[in-house]
Chain A
Amino acid sequence: MRRECDTTSALREYAAGVTILTDMESLLHFAVNTVTVLFFIGMAGSAVVVLISFVEDIFELLED
C-alpha cells in the first residue's frame, strides 16, 4: 500500500515535470514567434526609413 503510494506520487511529480517542460517549450516557441514577427515588422519599417533618409541626405550632400 505504502509502495503504491510512493509510485503514484513519483508518477505525479514526473507528469508535473513534463507539463512544466512542455509549457516551457511552448512558451519558448511563443516568444520566438513573437520576436520573429516584431523583427520583420521592424525591418520593413527600417527599410522605409533608410530609403527616405538616404534620398534626403544624398541631396544634402550634393548641395553646394
Chain B
Amino acid sequence: MASKQTVSLPQSNRVRLVVASSVMLTFISFWRAAAIVLNDLGSSAFYAGGIAEEAVGKAAPWFILGVMLFSFAVRAVYVESCSMFTRGGVYRIVKEALGGTFAKLSVSALMFDYILTGPISGVSAGQYIVGLLNELFALGAAHHVLAPRATPLQLPTNATSAVIAAIITVYFWWQNTKGIEESSDKALKVMKITTVMVVMLLGWGIFSVLHLGSHLPPLPIPSNLHFSNDALGFLKHTKLATTFGLFGIIMAFGHSVLAMSGEESLAQVNREIEHPKLKNLKRAAIVIAIYSFIFTGIGSLLAVMLIPDAVRVPVYRDNLIAGMAMYMVGPLALRIAFRIFVVIVGFLILAGAVNTAIVGSTGVLMRVAEDGVLSDWFRKPQHKYGTSYRIVNLVAGLQLFTIIVTRGDVIMLGEAYAFGVIWSFTFNSLAMLVLRFKYHGERGWKVPINIRIGKYEIPLGLLSIHLVLLTTALVNLFTKSVATVSGILFAVVFFILFSISERDNKRRHDMATRQMKEHFQLEHQDRVGREALQINPGCVVVTMRDANAPFALKWALARTNASEQDIVVLAARMMGAGGPDYLDASEQLFSEHEQMLFTKAVSVAESFGKHISLLVVPAGDIFAALVQTANSLEAAAVVSGLSTKLTAQEQAYHVGQAWEALPEPKRQFTFYVVKPDGEAISFHIGPHAPAIEPADVQLVHRMWLNFRLDPELQQLHHSDVVTYALTRLATDFARDKKETLRGMRQSIEETTKPKGLGGLRYDKLQDAGPGYSIRAPRPPQDNNEK
C-alpha cells in the first residue's frame, strides 16, 4: 500500500499531528462473520413466509425458495464488491461508480431497509410472544387451569406486539447510547441455539410431513397465484389485474424479496474477517446462503405443508414457525414445549436483529457523516459514554415512529420493508456493472460468466443479476403502493437532509481544515510508527477523549520528564460498524469536537512547559487501537482516564485481552488508569517479572543453600532453584490439575492474609508502579494537577 503523505510546510510553532490512515481493527473467523450476518438474514425466516403467502397465496413458499436461491447470486455481487473495496457496501460502491448523488440516493434506500429491520423484527418477536400467550390462555381456559371466564383472556395481538417492539427498541437504544460492546461471541451463541431449533424444526417437520402424507404447495405457475387486494398495489384498477400471466411471477417474486434482506451486513462485516480475507469472505458467504436457504426456504415450504389452510393465514400468518410447532406429529405437551423453545429462539434472534438494525444504520450514517455528507452535529460524542448518541437517537426515533404508525401490523411493515431491500441491491448491482468498465484497480474475484469480445469483457452474469433486481424493483414500484409511497417519501427526505448537510459541511470543513493547518503540522501516514512522530522508544501514550476532562494527560505530564521520555496524546477516531479499514487523507475530516480536543491537549502541555505529539488513529475497537499503537510506538506506558462505563480492572482486562491478540513481535508496557481525583492504578500488560516478597527470596536462598550441600551441585544458581520449582509445578499441573489448583488457591489465601506493613507485594506494586515505564515518578507539584 503506497504511503499517502500530506505534509504541510513545517512551522516551528505548530505541534506535529499525525493522522493514521489504517484503521486499528480486530479480526474474526469466517464462522463468526457468518453468525453476525445470519443474525440479521436468518431472522427474516420468522416472518417472510407469512407475509409472502398473504400477498400471493399458497404458492408463496416456492417464491421464497426462489428468492433464497437468487440470494446466492446477490451474495456473489457482494463478494466481488468486497474484493475491490474492503468495505464494499452500497454507499462506497455507488459513490465510486455513479457519484455522490446516486450514492446519497442508494444510501437513503439502504437506510429505509435498516430502519425498518428494527420495527419488523421487534413486532415479529412480539407476535410470537403474544401468539404463544394467547394460545396458552385458550388452552388454560379449555382445560380449566385458568379461572373460568365467558371467553378466554386474549391479548390484542398487534397492539401488544407494538408495545413489545417499542420496549425492545428502547432497550437497545439505551444500550447503544451507552456504547454496546460489539461481540461476535453473542452472535455465535444465538446462532448455535438457532441451529438446534432449525435442526429440530426440519427433522420433526419432515417426519410429520411424511407421517401425515402432506402435499407440496401448488406449483408457482400463473394460474396458482392469488394476489390479495393490497398486493396488486397501483395495478388494482387496470386490465392487467385480470391477466397477469408470466408478469404475475415477477410480482410474486417481488413480494417475497424481503426474505433475503440482510445481505448488506456481509459487506459491513467483511473488514473484520481474518486473513486470508477473500477466501474467508467466500466461505462466510456460502455458509450464510446455505443456512438461510434451508432455514427460510425449506422452513416456509414445510409450514404450508403442515399447517392447515383454515388456520395458517388467519391464525399463524405472523408466527408461522410457532404454527408449525403446533401441527407437528406428537403429544400436545411436547408441541407446546417446542413452541415455547421457538418463541425463545425467535425472541433472541429477532431482538438481536433490532440491535443489528440500530448498529447497522448508525454505522451507515456514521460512514456518511465521516464523509462530510451528514452534519457534524450528529458526530458529537455523548458527554458520558462517548458514543454518537445523536445518530442513535435519530435511528431509534424513526424506528419508534414506524412502530407507532404501523401499530404492530407486520404485513404493512413487510410491504414497506421490501422497498429498501430491493432498491439498495439494485443500486449496488448497477454500480458494480459500471465499475466493470470504469474501475481498473485490484479485483480479487469476479461474478462468473464473462465473455471477452475484442478488448471488451462483457459481464453477462452481473448483467443478468442486475436485470432481475431492476425489473423486480420496477414492478414493486407499481405493486407495493405502501412501500412506494413511504419509501420514496423517506428516501427524498433523507436525500434532502444529506444534500443540505453536505453543502453546509463543505463550507465548515474548508474553514476547519484551514484552522487545523494553521495550528498543527498535519501529517497523514498509512501506519503509525515512531519515525512518523519522530520519537524515541519507551514513550508514554496518553489517551484523550473529552476536552473538558484532561486529567489523564495532566497526571502523565506531571510525572514524566519530557526530556527523557516522549509523550504522545492519542485520539481514537471510532469508526462505526461497517466502517472502512483504510481512510484516505482526503476522507479524514476534522470535526469541531476533535479540533477542541487537540487545542486543549496542546494548551495543557504548554501549561506544564512540556512538548507533546498528537496522534489520531481510526479504530474499530478502542482497546485494540490502544494496544496496537503502544506496540507500534514501542511505548513503555499507556495512560488512560477512568472509563465512565468500566472499572479500572475491567479496562485493564480489555487491554490485556487486546494485547494477547496482538501478533508477534510485541512488547510489554504498563497501563495506568487515572481517576478524576488524580489517583492512579497501574497494571502490567504482557508477561513480566513478578514482584517477589522478601520471604520468598529467603525461601529460594535457603533451598539453594540446602541443595549446595550436595557436592554435585556446587555450580547451582538461585535461578536454577526457581526453574526447577516451576518445572515441578507445571508437571504437577499436567498430572493433577484439580489438586494443583486447590493447592494454588490455598497458597493465595495464605499469601494475601495481612502480614503487617511492608509485607504485601500488592501495596508495593500499586504505590511505585513498575518503575521502568514512567521514569522518575514524583508527586504532583504543578497547580494544574488536581
Interface residues of A (CB under 8 A from B): 25, 28, 32, 35-36, 38-46, 48-50, 52-54, 56-58, 60-61
Contact B468 A28 (CB under 8 A): no
**Contacting pair B287 A54 (CB below 8 A):** no
Contact A48 B70 (CB under 8 A): no
Complex Cα distance, B448 from A52, in Å, reads 7
| The stretch of B471-479, B608-616, B681-689, B730-738 that contacts the partner chain | B471-479
CB-CB under 8 A from A57, the residues of chain B are 282-283, 285-286
Determine whether the beta carbon of B250 is less than 8 Å from that of A36.
Answer: yes
Q: Is B73 in the interface zone, CB < 8 Å from A?
A: yes
Chain A residue nearest to B284 (CB atoms) is A61
Q: How far is the CB of A22 from chain B (nearest CB, A)?
A: 11
Per-residue A-contact encoding for B214-258, CB less than 8 Å = 1, 0 else: 000000000000000000000000111000011101100100000
Q: Which residue of A lies closest to B248 (CB)?
A: A36
CB-CB under 8 A for A45 and B279, given A35-B475, A50-B72, A61-B287: no
Distance (whole angstroms) from the CB of A45 to the closest CB of chain B: 2
A54/B464 in contact, CB under 8 A: no
Q: Is the CB of B465 within 8 A of A46?
A: yes
B76 proximal to A (CB < 8 A): yes
Q: A35-B247, A52-B448 are in contact. Are A58 and B467 (CB under 8 A)?
A: no
Q: Which residues of B contact A44 (CB under 8 A)?
A: 464
Judged by a CB distance under 8 angstroms, whether B152 is at the interface is no
Residues from chain A with a CB closer than 8 A to the CB of B247 are: 32, 35-36
Knowing A35-B474, A39-B472, A45-B461 touch, does A53 contact B72 (C-beta < 8 A)? yes
Closest residue of chain B to A45 (Cβ to Cβ) is: B464
B residues less than 8 Å from A40 (CB atoms) = 246
Chain B residues whose C-beta falls within 8 Å of the C-beta of A36 in the assembled complex: 245-247, 250
Query: Is the CB–CB distance between A49 and B283 below 8 Å?
Result: no
Q: Which residues of B contact A50 (CB under 8 A)?
A: 69-70, 72-73, 76
Interface contact A38-B471, CB-CB below 8 Å: yes
A1, chain B: closest CB distance, angstroms: 40
Are A46 and B282 within 8 A (Cβ)? no
Chain A residues, Cβ within 8 Å of B239? 25
A38 near B69 with CB under 8 A, answer: no
A46 near B73: Cβ-Cβ < 8 Å:
yes
The reply to whether B283 and A43 contact each other, CB–CB distance below 8 Å, is no
Report whether B250 and A42 are in contact in the complex, using a CB–CB cutoff of 8 Å: no
Q: How far in angstroms is the closest Cβ of chain A from B624?
A: 28
B72 contacts which chain A residues (CB < 8 A)?
49-50, 53-54
Contact A49 B250 (CB under 8 A): no
Determine the residue in chain A with the shortest Cβ distance to B462: A49
Complexed CA–CA distance, A54 and B470 (Å): 23
Chain B 46-67 interface 0/1 with A at a Cβ cutoff of 8 Å (1 = within): 0000000000000000000000
13 contacts between A and B (CB under 8 A): A32-B247, A35-B247, A38-B467, A39-B472, A42-B464, A43-B468, A46-B461, A49-B72, A49-B73, A54-B72, A54-B286, A60-B283, A61-B283
Closest 3 CB pairs of A and B: A45-B464, A42-B467, A42-B468
User: In the assembly, what is the distance between CA of A25 and CA of B250, in Å?
Assistant: 19
With A49-B448, A49-B449: A32-B240 Cβ-Cβ less than 8 Å = yes
**Complexed CA–CA distance, A48 and B76 (Å):** 12
Q: Are A42 and B466 in contact (CB under 8 A)?
A: yes
The CA of A10 and the CA of B246, in the complex, are separated in Å by: 39
Residues of chain B lying within 8 A (CB to CB) of residue A45? 449, 460-461, 463-465, 467
Q: How many A-B residue pairs have CB under 8 A?
A: 98
> Interface residue count for B (Cβ, 8 Å)?
40
Report Cα–Cα, A58/B461, bound state, in Å. 19
CA distance A32 to B478 in the complex (A): 11
- Asked if A46 and B475 make an inter-chain contact with CB atoms under 8 angstroms apart, the answer reads no
With an 8 A cutoff between CB atoms, is B447 at the interface?
yes
Which residues in window 412-450 of B have CB below 8 A to A? 447-449
- Complex CA gap A39/B475 in Å reads 10
A46 proximity list for chain B (CB < 8 A): 70, 73, 461, 464-465, 468
B3 to chain A, nearest CB (A): 33
Task: Report which residue of A49, A56, A61 has the largest number of chain B beta carbons within 10 angstroms of its beta carbon.
Answer: A49
- Cα–Cα, bound, A49→B250 (Å): 19
What is the CB-to-nearest-CB distance from B251 to chain A, in angstroms, rounded to a whole number?
10
Chain A residue at minimum C-beta to C-beta distance from B278: A60
Instruction: Select from chain B the residue with minimum beta-carbon distance to A24.
Output: B238
Q: Which of B286, B447, B465, B474 contacts A58 (CB 8 A)?
A: B286
Q: In the complex, how many angstroms separate the beta carbon of A18 from the nearest chain B beta carbon? A: 14
* Complex: chain B residue closest to A33, CB-CB: B247
Residues of A within 8 A of B249 (CB): 39
- How far does the Cβ of B426 sit from chain A's closest Cβ, in whole Å? 12
Residues of B within 8 A of A53 (CB): 72-73, 75-76, 79, 447-448
Q: Could you tell me if B467 and A49 are in contact, using CB atoms closer than 8 angstroms?
A: no
A39 vs B75: C-alpha distance when bound (angstroms):
19
Complex: chain A residue closest to B30, CB-CB:
A61
Q: How far is the CA of A52 from the CA of B449 in the complex (A)?
A: 9
The residue in chain A whose Cβ has the minimal distance to the Cβ of B80 is A53
Contacts of A54 in B (CB 8 A): 72, 286, 289
Inside 8 A of B287's CB, which chain A residues have their CB?
A: 61
Give the complex CA separation of A40 and B245 in angstroms. 13
> A49: nearest residue on chain B (CB-CB)?
B461
Contact B238 A28 (CB under 8 A): yes
Which residue of chain B lies nearest to A25 when distances are taken between CB atoms in the complex?
B239
Decide: B282 and A60 in contact? CB cutoff 8 A.
yes
The interface residues of chain A lying within 8 Å CB-to-CB of B470 are: 38
CB distance from A19 to the nearest CB of B (A): 16
Q: Apart from A35-B474, A46-B465, A54-B289, list 13 A-B contacts with CB within 8 A.
A: A36-B245, A36-B247, A39-B253, A39-B471, A42-B463, A42-B464, A42-B466, A42-B467, A43-B468, A44-B464, A49-B73, A49-B76, A49-B449
A48 in contact with B449 given A35-B474, A36-B247, A60-B279 (CB within 8 Å): yes
Contact string, B257-296, partner A, CB cutoff 8 A, digits 1/0? 0000000000000000000000100110111010000000
Contacts of B468 in A (CB 8 A): 39, 42-43, 46
In the assembled complex, the Cα of A49 lies from the Cα of B461 at a distance in Å of: 6
Given the complex, which residues of B lie within 8 Å of A42, measured CB to CB?
A: 463-469, 471
Cα separation A49 to B80 with both chains bound (whole Å): 13
Chain A, residue nearest B74 (CB): A46
A49: which B residues are within 8 A, CB to CB? 72-73, 76, 447-449, 461, 464-465
A46, A49, A60: most-surrounded residue (chain B CB, <10 A): A46
- Smallest Cβ distance from B458 to chain A, in angstroms? 11
Tell me, rounded to whole Å, the shortest Cβ–Cβ distance linking A50 to chain B: 4
Bound together, the chains give a CA A35 to CA B471 distance in angstroms of: 6
A52 neighbours in B (Cβ, 8 Å): 448-449, 461
Beta-carbon nearest neighbor of A50 in chain B: B72
Write the nearest CB–CB distance from B98 to chain A, whole angstroms: 20
* Residue from B75, B286, B449 in contact with A61 in the complex, judged by beta carbons closer than 8 Å: B286
Type the 1/0 row for B19-58, where 1 means its CB is closer than 8 Å to any CB of A. 0000000000000000000000000000000000000000
**How distant is the Cα of A45 from the Cα of B460 in the complex, in angstroms?**
7
A41: B residues at CB distance < 8 A: 464, 467
Minimal beta-carbon separation of B525 from chain A (angstroms): 35
Shortest CB-to-CB span from B437 to chain A, Å, is 18
The smallest C-beta distance from B1 to any residue of chain A, in angstroms, reads 25
Find chain B residues with CB under 8 A from A38 CB: 467, 470-471
Residue of A nearest to B469 (CB): A42
User: A residues within 8 A CB of B289?
Assistant: 54
Q: Which residues of B contact A28 (CB under 8 A)?
A: 238, 240
Residues of B within 8 A of A39 (CB): 249-250, 253, 467-468, 471-472
Docked Cα-Cα span, A50 to B285, in Å, equals 12
Whose C-beta in chain A lies nearest to the C-beta of B468?
Answer: A42
Nearest Cβ on chain A to B80's Cβ, whole angstroms: 10
